[in-house]
Amino acid sequence: MKVVILSDIHGNFDALSALPEDYDQLWVLGDLVNYGPQPAEVVDFIRSHATHVVRGNHDHCIGFGEDPRCSPPFREMAEATRKYTDSILSDDDKRYLRSLPLQVDVRVNDARCKLCHAVPSDPLFAYCLPDSERWVEECRIAGADVLLTGHTHIPCDIHVENTLLVNPGSLGQPKSGAPRACYAVFEGRNFSLRSFAYPADKTAEKIRAMPIPAAIQEDLITVLRTGTAPEERNKGEYVENRGA
């Protein structure tokens, strides 16, 4: 069986619809909405195609009207696009976001997999980089052969003690240093991290049509075109971005 794993789509339907992969199952690690121009189309696609979906902090934000707890560089972008997303999604869409579980356990190909958006002990908000020592405890909490997480938008595929930790990166707002949509594939007993080019200029045009301040539009477009967080662009080096 072939499983495609997506995370952090963030309303970017251009990236989602350009996914160059067939699959038997589609797993989604949260953050369907906010930042991007087409949240309704993303929600509709995921509702129709995904086998397993967990709730991200931005899904929680729109579903329950709560703060997504973004870091300062993303706070204005999140607030502006939150109002837009809230106005676009139907009540049924919001009920769907509220209904999403925080964690899912599934067994595939004899592997015990746990899906969550952030970390098992704090599945919505905790921001944990791939090299963080915290993963030792989080993987023990997970109690799985494979722990699948998103939230940081940074792809990784590493072993932590007896657990394989996989983050597919972000499909809709990549922070991997390149403007390529990121995802993962689980086939047989192997995981692989993959990426592809999509029409980001088309997405940029749609962002410029959103009823949000022009400066925020340009910040969103710059993230898409550079594949980096604002701290990286402003300081020339990576600074941990908590709670994107």
**pLDDT tens by residue, 140-188:** 999 999 999 999 999 999 999 999 999 999 999 999 999 999 999 999 8
Closest CA to 224 of 205, 238, 243, 239: 205
User: What are phi and psi for residue 43, nearest 5 degrees?
Assistant: -60, -45
When divided into structural domains, the chain yields a total of 1
State pLDDT tens for residues 64-108: 999 999 988 788 999 999 999 999 999 999 999 999 999 999 999
What is the extent of the structural domain holding 228?
2-113+169-235
28: domain CATH number is: 3.60.21.10
- Report yes or no on 162 lying in a domain: no
Chain centre to alpha carbon of residue 42:
12
- Report yes or no on 46 lying in a domain: yes
CB 169 within 8 Å of CB 140: no
- Report yes or no on 151 lying in a domain: no
Query: To which residue do tokens 């192997």 refer?
Result: 190
pLDDT at 239 over 50: no
- Report yes or no on 128 lying in a domain: no
Query: Strand 2-6 vs strand 181-187: parallel, antiparallel, or unpaired?
Result: antiparallel
CA–CA distance, 2 with 188 (Å, rounded to integer): 7
- Report yes or no on 196 lying in a domain: yes
Identity at 79, one-letter amino acid code = E
